[in-house]
Amino acid sequence: MDTFEVLSQLVTLSGGPGDEGLIAARYQTLCEPYIQAFYTDSVGNCIGVANGEGAARPRVMLAAHMDEICLMVQAIEPGGFLRVIGIGGFDPRTLLGQEVTVHGTQAYSGIIGSKPPHLQAPEEREEAVPLKDIFLDLGMAEARVREVISLGDRVTLRRDPVRLINQRVAAKALDNRASVTAMLLALNELSHIRHNADVYAVATIQEEIGCKGAQTAAYGILPDLAIALDVCHGEMPGVESDLVQKVGGGPVISFGPHLHPKLFERLKTVATEQNIPYQIEVTQGATYTDADPIQIVQAGIPTALISIPLRYMHTSVETASLDDIARVGRLLARVIASLDAAFVEGLSCY
């Protein structure tokens, strides 16, 4: 399985929160060669099941959200221009001049317009344009826009992935299709090695608006343990080094009060045994990832978090390392292969 090829298939598709259907279909196609069952739950989470061997088969849930931040049409203005609101955390300063896709009666190409500096008042040149003042231009007459675009239609950024040197890749929606790719790589590797656990590889919905899918999926699966996958901030100029991780430095294993210490230690041990470089991120509380709701489902689920370092999060040029993505996939597979009933039973004993 080629990491860049799989990642490219995922990031070129659009899938904002609540509108993940295109990604869901592609995820099913990509994971079916490596699983024994696939189903979609009532809210849209996509679950691929790779069965383990033996009588005692612990349930392991992997969770990587497939939604991306997007915009939503709030108003159609005279002249056919669109006003939008954000679904997820956009920095409006990154939006001006971007190409977008507006998902109306079909997918329509558009751009986010910007008032030229020649027409700006002096004070406007010193201020960021707020999202409420940003407008979209489809190049259509107003009457046509009103025929094909409705209030509530999603708007996604449009950007082809770019392969950079040193195994770097830049694209939109690497948050969190990079982790979905890593999960697929893990399923691929698991199909070639023995493992006791039944693996539920979940492409979750609506993480960007509150981790809705992970919570409902965990209730449905009730796993013995879970590993959430997401991205974290990669190093860049102007940011203190203790707030970021090194792109290309390997998987980032998180540790904090509600992340299970024995899973944390197992992840580190297996990474060392497999010569997989890794980094550690310390979190003092909420991780703002799918790990948070999974951990408190029913009587509690032992949960770990692995992240992929990512530069320029929530922009159209998010940048990550293909090596890091592949290493996360390999680490997942090898950790799962290391699990047995005794280890899982021991998770309840601190």
Quick check: is 124 catalytic?
A: no
Q: What is the mean pLDDT of residues 100-120?
A: 88
- Please tell me whether 195 is known to bind a ligand: no
pLDDT at 272: 97
Whether 124 has a pLDDT exceeding 90, the answer reads no
pLDDT at 350: 64
- Please tell me whether 314 is known to bind a ligand: yes
Whether 182 has a pLDDT exceeding 90, the answer reads yes
pLDDT at 285: 84
- Please tell me whether 208 is known to bind a ligand: yes
In the chain, the domains with their CATH numbers are: 3-68+172-346 (3.40.630.10), 70-157 (2.40.30.40)
Structure confidence at residue 117 as a pLDDT band (50, 70, 90): confident
**One of 189, 207, 281, 318 is an active-site residue; which one?**
207
- Please tell me whether 99 is known to bind a ligand: no
Looking at residue 338, its amino acid is S
pLDDT at 116: 77
Structure confidence at residue 320 as a pLDDT band (50, 70, 90): very high
Per-residue pLDDT tens digits for 214-239: 999 999 999 999 999 999 999 999 99
Q: What is the mean pLDDT of residues 145-165?
A: 96
Q: What is the mean pLDDT of residues 118-145?
A: 84
